[in-house]
Structure 1
């Protein structure tokens, strides 16, 4: 229960209520107008900000003591409302160094419908360590996390968001049916974020994502740029997002390319063949005769058309028919059997602990990946829709773009990623597609192969599965820094 008082630092005197209002502040100014109040709920202090321009409300806890424990580094966790009964979960960590000037990065997991807490907490380095790119890790089977020395907030202020509604800790009405309809909600969240955390409004901003982020990344970046254009021509009064970088690892960009290249990866990856050449030939023939023609009829990212759903079903039937020939493997890392504990469940147990949920301000039960969120995307045939033209438009806008992939991943394999990035259309296309890859090094040790032309870079990461930062954390941090610095990636 929220009771508003006319003076700052007022205290509720209503006995028997679990919620105490500690203060109210009316903020003036066109972009930042709103009301900020502070209240206590069951011993935890929450800040509430109501943003006039977007109608969004932010409800968060500051410095919960969970995950980021570096002295002097602030963190904030809670909810942005992005519509009526639509509460989107966020967790924000200041940079460990020079937070007052460091860039800002947004991390989104894919799915669709998979929580960005996966990126924050979950992945496997070995049997004992669980981490991806967030500030903390679970070490030696511990039940509580400790600091991750390769967290991306070593360099940047880092924002994790669970989207669409129904993903992770987010809750309420989910109206998103595909990638294009998801973008405005994330933009609205960022508008409320900048209105409240005003010190970040002019920072260099990077969007980083993986897997279904091959759809999210291009579309969200493109939408942000469209909104920036409307702000520039004064048809929209809002906060510009200073987007300078887009990074996508092991992404799903274009089904026509990647359905085909999965067959090539299966037969010719650098670890071991998943299928023999005769099965690969039969698989390719079936793809060419049934899946490809269906995909060619799906040529819009927005139209409600049965062709895209039909392509989704047709290609799934082809893939399922040939799946019986594949070995018992973990598709996120083909070096592991499917019975391997990947990812470990430690973080799931941690985030469902009532004490942890209370401390961070979580109001709903955690869902790692939501079938309810994924279903509308499947029915819309969203995965069959190509976002390669959208990615091309982002590269053409001179944003620094990194497309990278771990080479042991079979979910969004590097063959498909490499073919997709070579198909990007921009001023450097001819040079990029013909350029040979070179060794990418970390401290003089070869860790992958790469190439860069202009503002577009490609990197294949050796000995890495689907979630690169978990397998090659030091390399991932180096690449993250270089991309946010608006540089072509380069070895050290």
Structure 2
């Protein structure tokens, strides 16, 4: 499932999956569309999806390419699910996975919060009972993206191209959400949209309302400091190694000392024994699929400072394998109107070669997040508290840098009778932990994630008492 008919390096962003709850839209909702627009939408409609449950045929979904730069051959691949209940009244949400260079079709849609999850043992699909678009709990329309670089000004224009394909979606409330390295993508893209909206015509204005990011890489030095401190508190590293970090590491420095590098090398070995992304879940005994040209990827400008050992898993550590097998099926790619030129290499969930051409990642987005808070956007940041790669500790250190006053201090929130996690409301930002969740919160704690997303979109505080 490739995202362009041209070679990979020409792409800026790919595989946008826009997910809404779905039901057939009344004719009146499309009556104002011109014939060419309606025809383009119909060409992208997914008539059937191999291995999908019969329930899936009750709603419309679309996927295909939107050209974003004719001269350079850049294209955006999207997968869009209409809303199951009252779709015209539902907001639109863009979901971004991290990497950099990873797929929200392969991760977000297939493993986390899309309408379909890939089944165990066989590469087919089942309905996701805890996705934000499930009937009766319908809360919004969701967007997922594959292998992307979402920070330059051309990216904002790419979304205008998608809205030109689906103009009936243009004036909906629009939110951007994601996890991991999307802690960079989401604020950066949000800032582009905010600035472009200030000078946009009515035709190009995006009804942008807020951002939601989880286990978010936002700041280089607090990220690494939090990783080390969290590992010590979780009894993963020894007192001796922890003392070596305290003595030799200044994580605010772009180039670390040789002594600090040596301590990190010893640290990395420990995460060959357990899953850094979900500290209390097992490895996949089926093995993991290759991640393009490398088995590890660096996060932005932290090159050499912390290698990602593999991509994250949830309570079933093999979901990555299931998704890769399914999305490499020829019949699936044909159904999704993907890889139309038959590129010779397989689809992978993360394409690490993006790091070979992308060298300008910012060390921090803290100033951008603070600016967005001042702009009045709705900002929620959540954190699965058993993630060792971007742990809650790192996020709390990063939020402290913002210097925002606390309006409602640390308190529990509930999912039914159980504590779902803890939250603190700052002036301009809400921080939420998800108890027992790893890096991919919707995979490891789907019910809590659904509660979180529903309340974010409704702009309501999470339940403060059992229910």
TM-score computed with the length of structure 2 as normaliser: 0.76
Cα distance change of structure 1 residues 188 and 60 upon mapping to structure 2, 3 Å threshold = farther
Counterpart of 2:405 in structure 1 is: 430
Q: 2:369 aligns with which of 376, 385, 391?
A: 391
Which runs of structure 2 are paired with 1:33-432 in the superposition (5 Å)? 36=37, 47=40, 60-65=44-49, 67=52, 69-83=55-69, 84-122=72-110, 131-154=111-134, 155-164=139-148, 180-181=151-152, 184-185=154-155, 187-231=156-200, 238-269=203-234, 273-288=235-250, 291-292=251-252, 294-295=253-254, 310=255, 319-324=264-269, 328-338=273-283, 342-344=317-319, 345-363=321-339, 364=343, 365-377=346-358, 379-380=359-360, 382=361, 385-425=363-403, 429-431=404-406
Structure 2 unaligned runs (5+)? 1-31, 287-316
CA contact (8 A) 1:109 1:118 kept: no
Cα distance change of structure 1 residues 240 and 315 upon mapping to structure 2, 3 Å threshold = farther
Task: Return the alpha-carbon distance in structure 1 between the equivalents of residues 81 and 146 of structure 2.
Answer: 15
Find out whether 1:487 has 2:467 as its counterpart: no
CA contact (8 A) 1:407 1:463 kept: yes
CA contact (8 A) 1:449 1:459 kept: yes
Task: Return the alpha-carbon distance in structure 2 between the equivalents of residues 229 and 156 of structure 1.
Answer: 26
CA contact (8 A) 1:132 1:470 kept: yes
Cα distance change of structure 1 residues 35 and 327 upon mapping to structure 2, 3 Å threshold = closer
1:322-366, Cα deviation, whole Å (9 max, x unpaired): 323556111111113445562431111111110111111011542
Task: Return the alpha-carbon distance in structure 2 between the equivalents of residues 239 and 286 of structure 1.
Answer: 51
Task: Return the alpha-carbon distance in structure 2 between the equivalents of residues 370 and 399 of structure 1.
Answer: 32
Counterpart of 2:10 in structure 1 is: none
Cα distance change of structure 1 residues 199 and 146 upon mapping to structure 2, 3 Å threshold = same
Counterpart of 1:457 in structure 2 is: 430
CA contact (8 A) 1:121 1:347 kept: no
Task: Return the alpha-carbon distance in structure 2 between the equivalents of residues 240 and 319 of structure 1.
Answer: 46
Moved more, 240-249 or 65-74: 65-74
1:5-42, Cα deviation, whole Å (9 max, x unpaired): xxxxxxxxxxxxxxxxxxxxxxxx9xx9995585xxxx
Task: Return the alpha-carbon distance in structure 1 between the equivalents of residues 48 and 256 of structure 2.
Answer: 46
Task: Return the alpha-carbon distance in structure 1 between the equivalents of residues 371 and 396 of structure 2.
Answer: 18
Counterpart of 1:13 in structure 2 is: none
Task: Return the alpha-carbon distance in structure 2 between the equivalents of residues 281 and 313 of structure 1.
Answer: 15
CA contact (8 A) 2:213 2:381 kept: yes
CA contact (8 A) 2:46 2:335 kept: no
Aligned CA-pair RMSD: 2.9
Task: Return the alpha-carbon distance in structure 2 between the equivalents of residues 244 and 258 of structure 1.
Answer: 27
Cα distance change of structure 1 residues 340 and 224 upon mapping to structure 2, 3 Å threshold = farther
CA contact (8 A) 1:222 1:394 kept: yes
1:312 offset after TM fit, Å?
12
Task: Return the alpha-carbon distance in structure 2 between the equivalents of residues 156 and 266 of structure 1.
Answer: 36
Cα distance change of structure 1 residues 162 and 329 upon mapping to structure 2, 3 Å threshold = same
Runs of 4+ aligned residues of structure 1 deviating over 6 Å after TM superposition are 311-317
1:318 offset after TM fit, Å?
5.5
1:457 offset after TM fit, Å?
1.0
Task: Return the alpha-carbon distance in structure 2 between the equivalents of residues 243 and 446 of structure 1.
Answer: 32
Give secondary structure in 2 for the equivalent of 1:114.
coil
Counterpart of 2:311 in structure 1 is: none
CA contact (8 A) 2:222 2:394 kept: yes
Counterpart of 1:168 in structure 2 is: none
CA contact (8 A) 2:381 2:432 kept: yes
Give secondary structure in 2 for the equivalent of 1:152.
coil
Instruction: Identify which of structures 1 and 2 has the higher relative contact order when contacts are C-alpha pairs closer than 8 Å and 6+ apart.
Output: 2
Cα distance change of structure 1 residues 284 and 81 upon mapping to structure 2, 3 Å threshold = farther
